[in-house]
Chains A and B, each alone.
Chain A
Amino acid sequence: MFSEELKAFRRLGFRHVLLQALNFASVIASGLMIWKGLGLLTNSESPIVVVLSGSMEPAFYRGDLLFLTNPASERYHNGDITVYKIPGADIPIVHRVLETHDVKSRGSSVPNQRLLTKGDNNEVNDIELYRGLSYLERKHIVGKVRGFLPYIGYVTIAMNDFPQLKYALLGGLGLLALIQRE
């Protein structure tokens, strides 16, 4: 079945395999560089996130792609949609700011902000989600939503929900990379 491919593989030799490996590595490296570069530019640990829950419907649905920024000097305002991560919780949450309180902090011109958030589709505010904290602080916030693309991120949700799909896709891509000659 694979005799043809094997023959081709022998003919092309070791150098070709190395070249393929190098190509592969450079694709991965440039992807990582773009991601980390974006992170530096936007001052956010994850500048692009996929919506995982329906708590912001009808504004955002599962699978929507959000673009975040988090400038260090900027205040947050009511109505801003933030992505925050509570220490100990593994999933970041996308919710809207409901209350802001600027507490003057000593020795710093930027006030220490305390925030309270709520999902548009939830009846009550997020205190229950804060794991004992009574408000959010700046350090919990990953970024502010600036722009948005509908449903593009659904692929990642599908891959999480159906792991078979992920393996099929990875396997298929790997096989193609090995077989293809060009």
Chain B
Amino acid sequence: MHTIWSRINNISALLSSCMMGLFAAIALSSLAQQFFQAPLDPSSVSITSLKVAPGKGKQSKVDHALVQFELDANLTPLFNWNTKQLFVYLDAEYTNSKGVKNSVVIWDRIVRSKSSAKFHVEARQKYAFRDVTGFRDSAATYTLRYNLMPHVGALVYGVAGSTNNSIPFPPLAKNNV
């Protein structure tokens, strides 16, 4: 009854249930905090330059969009006791002439601390933005989204801001090669 094994067993069982209880409390309390807090100030997203160019070589039939943008965001309210990091990404959504709904991430950033959660970015895209059928006659909306990743618990997604209307793609630039 009171052997060393049963003592070890009891202590480890108690320890693991306490840990689980603590984890659950942290996860639930941070979810509740996010639910009750005031909504985020919308971030400003603006596209400063947008060009469409034909691809080079093998990809000559594929249209490439070249985007430059400006972001102004303050995501500090998203940081609480259970925030490990924010994954912030700029999402371009459009429907092309073939009726295919597309959504492409053109830029992303990992925010790991509250002090870097307020940022102003002027940059060009990080990832290729291309369409096999071409961008003509379509327009994209650019939305800044975030994924809040907790130390423990559920992943939360949200929108930080967007270009309020869709921005039409310009006609294909002449191939100046």
Residues of chain A touching chain B, judged by Cβ–Cβ distance below 8 Å, are: 58-59, 77-81, 96-104, 111, 118, 120, 125, 145-150, 176, 180, 182
Q: A58 CA to B110 CA in the complex, in Å? A: 9
Complex contact B101–A101 (CB within 8 A): yes
List the A residue with the shortest CB-CB distance to B16: A152
Q: A148 CA to B5 CA in the complex, in Å? A: 32
Q: A147 CA to B127 CA in the complex, in Å? A: 27
What count of chain B residues pass the 8 Å CB interface test? Answer: 29
Residues of chain B touching chain A, judged by Cβ–Cβ distance below 8 Å, are: 1, 5, 23, 27, 84-85, 87, 89, 91, 99-105, 110, 112, 127, 145, 147, 149-155, 157
Please count the residue pairs between chain A and chain B whose beta carbons lie under 8 angstroms apart in the complex: 72
6 A–B contacts, CB within 8 A, in A order: A58-B84, A59-B85, A101-B101, A148-B153, A148-B155, A149-B23
Complex contact A120–B154 (CB within 8 A): no
Q: What are the residues of chain A within 8 A of B85 when measuring CB–CB?
A: 58-59
6 A-B pairs with the lowest CB-CB distances in the bound complex, closest first: A102-B101, A147-B154, A99-B104, A98-B105, A100-B103, A78-B105
The one of B1, B89, B91, B102 in contact with A101, judged by C-beta atoms closer than 8 angstroms, is B102
Q: What are the residues of chain B within 8 A of A81 when measuring CB–CB?
A: 147, 155
Complex contact A120–B105 (CB within 8 A): no
List the A residue with the shortest CB-CB distance to B130: A99
List the A residue with the shortest CB-CB distance to B23: A149
| Least distance between A69 CB and chain B CB atoms (Å) | 11
**What 7 additional pairs, Cβ within 8 angstroms, besides A79-B89, A148-B153, A148-B155?**
A59-B85, A77-B103, A81-B155, A101-B103, A125-B127, A148-B152, A149-B152
Q: A97 CA to B100 CA in the complex, in Å? A: 17
Q: A106 CA to B100 CA in the complex, in Å? A: 13
Q: What are the residues of chain B within 8 A of A59 when measuring CB–CB?
A: 84-85, 87, 110, 149
